[in-house]
Chains A and B, each alone.
Chain A
């Protein structure tokens, strides 16, 4: 029974070094490092503070939501509604700070609470409904988008003040030369990495994803763990919405459209198994960074924009392929 609940812990006793990192983090670090070295020699503009901070700022929202999405995918679920949820939070918060002059701390509080609420709706539907999460969240993707469009009232939100510029992409959003949004993503990832590796309730996510029936028999409160994963993702959607509003300006009706696919791409490229039971937030952070590096590099090199899609597609297929091979080897071992 214990073996079912904490398989990784048992394995880590057998091969401590190899288990220090679980998925393809090492391979990803190597790929990113190789890319960065190549780009540093290939261009004289890649390895500049301005460029690197642009890359990590652009991927910060994806990385933040990706941390929550990793937990969800580890439980064997998925949340495709995050883009629409982000749109709801963005329009509410943008209107509050523009029309009511709500200060920064209150704006963040509203964003986080609203995010958790939307996430909890997903979590409850998934846990209590017993329907596949992709169907549930596909439904809420449309519902949340509907809510957001009604809140927009047929107008984009223009002239949003710079209340949340601490999160933004300008000078005011930097600490020690690094965007605050990326510091946040790294901090949240660090906490979640420890939590998911060493806390019992964190490990339970893996057990739920590995075999929900066995997890239930082992005394894990499966429903509660599922709701927690979706609510956490909602919280991070709220945080990402603050980053997306950032230094203000414009919030468009299409805010967050397609964000879910970028997030899922980062998680999958980061080595998290789409079947559940395996994956780390560190991998997700690296996955997001790899996608951001490639996107930026293509502009720096003056290559055609659509090559970004080609590379991301190849990365996803390679990542899934490697994961399948590893799984096969594990089973035969």
Chain B
């Protein structure tokens, strides 16, 4: 008797929990839907973008650029992502968009391999398929909108740091996810380029802090302790870039240890101002969103993309490589304390 009552109450509360949880995921979807732009014309193109996760400033900036392009080009822009960078949750969202019969589906895949079959399914249903920000190289995608090449970023990071270090000395890299393909590609370029161009400089270690800023801070401090003659640190992603700068600031080593990284402008601003970060290498994220919508519209209208396309929306220097089906935004941007206020994300 007692037991059954207990089981019932367990079930009841489990049910309440499930409802509550699904309730909140539904709610975040509605918030996402408010991000749709444009008016509901009869033949208006529907371009949907699924970011790695929703709510971080990086993808919100991309969303802002996408909304702007949707208005300029008179298409409907759907921006919908999961609140965690989870490949499974992302796949579910992509499948629901396929059900909604969008015209163009753009994904920044968390896991390119598991996304590939889903994209193939979308293409079979007549949807134009693209990737943006992160590629799924072995998929059926028809265009990849690339923010910058691995080569460009790796070299820009290395040059920005070595400029401060006087072209020599020891530095270390605090990366994030150990399996993140783009970060690993950049690190490979940094290693090769440092060895070639700066023979007196040396990368002493590469560590992985996950997407956790506090862990990046403590690992950067460990690295400074382990190598007392360290003069440089690279924060490879948007959580470790402010992380390494904070570590230098807290250790009182501003001016002795220099840092660069891939950080979003507003997060880096306090560190750029006090010198704990020398510069942040990034690209214009809003423009990346704009370019994504533009490419989607080209694709859906059956137009080919020129080698040096005229995009509009203030984008200059985009290039298209037909062999790789890759549309490149341009050279990476160096953000310093001089120009950080131009960016509101």
Contact = CB atoms under 8 A, between A and B. Distances in A.
Interface of A: 43, 45, 48, 50-51, 54, 57-58, 129-132, 135-136, 138-139, 142-143, 145-146, 149, 152, 154-156, 158-159, 168-171, 244, 247-250, 252-254, 257-258, 295-296, 299-302, 305-306
B218 A54 contact: yes
Interface stretch (B50-58, B280-288, B313-321): B50-58
A169 B217 contact: yes
B222 A300 contact: yes
B266 A159 contact: yes
Given A43-B226, A158-B269, 20 more contacts: A45-B225, A50-B224, A50-B251, A57-B218, A58-B218, A135-B17, A139-B20, A139-B21, A146-B28, A154-B55, A156-B56, A158-B266, A170-B249, A170-B251, A171-B250, A248-B270, A249-B246, A249-B270, A253-B83, A299-B223
A254 B211 CA distance: 8
Nearest to A156: B57
Contact of B225 (A51, A156, A169): A51
13 contacts: A45-B228, A50-B225, A54-B225, A130-B6, A139-B17, A155-B57, A247-B249, A248-B270, A253-B55, A299-B205, A302-B204, A302-B226, A305-B208
A253 B226 CA distance: 30
Contacts of B251: 50, 170
Contact of B13 (A43, A129, A249): A129
Interface in B193-231: 204-205, 207-209, 211-214, 217-219, 221-226, 228
Contacts of A48: 225
Highest count of chain B CB atoms <10 Å: which of A48, A136, A249, A296? A249
A102 to B, nearest CB: 18
Interface string B153-170: 000000000000000000
Contacts of B252: 170-171
A155 B54 CA distance: 10
B21 A149 contact: no
B310 interface: no
B222 A299 contact: yes
A305 B239 contact: no
B120 interface: no
A143 B24 contact: yes
Given A135-B17, A249-B246, A244 B56 contact: no
B236 interface: no
A156 B60 CA distance: 11
Contacts of A58: 214, 218
B267 interface: yes
Given A154-B55, A305-B208, A170 B250 contact: yes
Contacts of B178: 305-306
Contact of A299 (B13, B219, B267): B219
B60 to A, nearest CB: 5
Interface of B is mostly: helix
Contact of B242 (A152, A155, A249): A249
Contacts of A301: 226
Given A170-B252, A305-B178, A142 B213 contact: no
Nearest to A168: B250
A26 B271 CA distance: 44
A302 B211 contact: no
B60 A154 contact: yes
A250 B280 CA distance: 16
B10 interface: yes
A149 B267 contact: no
A67 to B, nearest CB: 19
A296 B269 contact: no
Contacts of B27: 146
Contacts of A50: 221, 224-225, 251
A244 B212 CA distance: 12
B322 interface: no
B226 A299 contact: yes
B182 interface: no
B267 A131 contact: no
A305 B218 CA distance: 13
Contacts of B6: 130
Nearest to A299: B222
Contacts of B221: 50, 54, 169
B225 A143 contact: no
B40 interface: no
B302 to A, nearest CB: 35
Contacts of B60: 154-155
Interface in B21-62: 21, 24, 27-28, 31, 54-57, 60
B14 interface: yes
B9 interface: yes
A43 B227 CA distance: 11
Contacts of B239: 252, 254
Nearest to A300: B226
B10 A131 contact: yes
A302 B252 CA distance: 23
A249 B17 CA distance: 35
Contacts of A168: 250
A253 B223 CA distance: 26
A323 B244 CA distance: 40
A130 B270 contact: no
Nearest to A257: B212
B207 A299 contact: yes
A177 to B, nearest CB: 14
A131 B270 contact: no
A135 B270 contact: no
A143 B226 contact: no
A253 B9 CA distance: 34
A193 to B, nearest CB: 27
A129 B269 CA distance: 48
Interface string B230-251: 0000000001001000100111
Nearest to A171: B252
Contacts of B10: 131-132, 135
